[in-house]
Structure 1
Amino acid sequence: MIEVEVVDGVAVVRLAHGKVNALDLELCQAIERAARELDDPRGPVRAVVVTGAGRAFSAGVDLRRVVEGGALYVAEFLPALGAAFRAVFDLGKPVVAAVNGHAIAGGCVLAAACDHRVMASGAGTIGVPELKVGVPFPYAALEIMRFTLGPVAARRIILDGANHDPESALALGLVDEVHDADGLLERAVAVADRLATGIPPDTFRYTKAQFRRELNERLDRVTEPTTVELWTTAAADGRIQAFMDRTMGTRAASERR
């Protein structure tokens, strides 16, 4: 589900969950656990690179699980999704996303939670089509997108709901650089290593926490009964299934498992 390899103090965390690394309850819980473990300031890891196995970074939430699980699944899944995002976002060491392919919806937010994003050139796309699915953003996802892009760009990208090719993503600020796919991971590791060696770790951790303090204070005060309710409604009234049928077709939807 998650593979972790440590090379010269840089941990490469690879999502390896199905064909497109769709975010379900179990993967979210695994992401949170891995991020919390790697955050240990006394541990041997100086920096982290997050990437995906196969052709996708992550194609986002496993919508089929949401439809099948209904209210009980949604009530457990959404907090786990937010906790996974926050664990990566708050990790006190440099975190670099090596976006090796599609990074859609929750996959885009996961990349945005990292300190630096390197996307492979080629056919992969990145974006946040949640509103087109018919569901609202969980508050943690909304705040992370706003933090990374700024309020104006985040509002435009979220309301537009489009997926973007690498060059467009670079122009919009969704990624920080585009690199040849063959050297993507090597480049991401180099960026992570530079951040880890160029700044003392205690200074990096404290400064990163300073940047995030106000955002985390807001998140700690928020409860989201309406978000859970609207996701549950969308699972029951057919809008999520309709989105899957429109964008993936029946066969592609089943492959998300």
Structure 2
Amino acid sequence: MITVDVMDGIGVVRLAHGKVNALDLELCRTIEQTMRDLDDPRGPVRAVVVTGAGRVFSAGVDLKRVLDGGAAYVAEFLPALSGAFRSVFDLGKPVVAAVNGHAIAGGCVLAAACDHRIMASGSGTMGVPELRVGVPFPHSALEIMRFALGPVGARRAIFDGANHEPEAALALGLVDELSEPDALLDHAMAVAARLATDIPADTFRCTKTQLRQEVNERLDRVTEPATVELWTTAATDGRIRAFMDRTVGSGSTLRES
């Protein structure tokens, strides 16, 4: 589901969950636990790189699980999804996303939660089509996208709902730079090592906490009954099924949003 390899103090966290690293309840809980463990200031890891196995970073939420599980699954899954996002967003060490392929919906948010995002040039796409699926963003995802893109950029990306090729993703600020696919992981590790070496660990952690303080204060106050209700409605009124029929039925290899 997840592998962690430590090389020269850099923890490489690789999502390895099915063909497209779909975000389901189990993967979200594993992401959160993995990131909490790596956040230990006394541990051997100085920085973290997050990437995906295969040709996909993450295609987002496993919508089939949502359809199959209904209200009970949604009520359990959405807090786990937010927990996964926040565990990456809050990790007090440098976190670099090595976006090796498609990073869609929740996969895009997961990358946006990182401190620096590098995307492989090529055929991967990146975007947040949640509204096209017919579901609202969890507050954690909204706040992370707003933090990463700014209010105007986040609004445009969210309401547009398009998935973007690497060059467009760079222009929109979804990623910070592009890399040749074969050099992506090495480049991400070099950036992570530079951040961990050039900035004292306690200074980095303090500054990262300061930068995220207002976001986390808002998230700590929020409750999401309306979000849960709308996701549950979407699982039963046909809108998620219709989206899957449009995308998977058209020949897309991505099962998720």
TM-score range, shorter chain: over 0.9
Aligned residue number for residue 33 of structure 1? 33
Q: Displacement, 1:55?
A: 1.0
Q: Which runs of 5+ in 2 are unaligned?
A: none
Q: Bigger CA drift: 243-252 or 210-219?
A: 243-252
CA contact (8 A) 1:244 1:250 kept: no
Whole-angstrom CA distance in 2 between matches of 1:248 and 1:189: 34
TM-score (norm 2): 0.98
Aligned residue number for residue 181 of structure 1? 181
Q: Bigger CA drift: 247-256 or 29-38?
A: 247-256
Structure 1 segments, 4+ long, off by >2 Å, are 250-256
CA contact (8 A) 1:64 1:254 kept: no
Q: SS at 2:114's partner residue?
A: coil
- Are 1:50 and 2:61 matched, yes or no? no
Aligned residue number for residue 128 of structure 1? 128
Change (3 A) 1:67 1:142: same
Deviations 1:221-255 (A, max 9, x none): 00000000000000000100100010112886896
Q: Bigger CA drift: 88-97 or 246-255?
A: 246-255
Aligned residue number for residue 163 of structure 1? 163
Aligned residue number for residue 6 of structure 1? 6
Deviations 1:44-100 (A, max 9, x none): 000000000011000000000001100000000000000000000000000000000
* One-letter code aligned to 2:142: L
- Are 1:192 and 2:192 matched, yes or no? yes
CA contact (8 A) 1:109 1:144 kept: yes
Q: SS at 2:196's partner residue?
A: helix
Whole-angstrom CA distance in 1 between matches of 2:252 and 2:164: 20
CA contact (8 A) 1:121 1:179 kept: yes
Deviations 1:182-222 (A, max 9, x none): 00000000000000000000000000000000100000000
Whole-angstrom CA distance in 2 between matches of 1:254 and 1:93: 31
TM-score (norm 1): 0.98
Q: Displacement, 1:18?
A: 0.2
Percent of pairs with identical residues: 77
Alpha-carbon RMSD: 1.2
Whole-angstrom CA distance in 2 between matches of 1:243 and 1:36: 34
Q: Which runs of 5+ in 1 are unaligned?
A: none
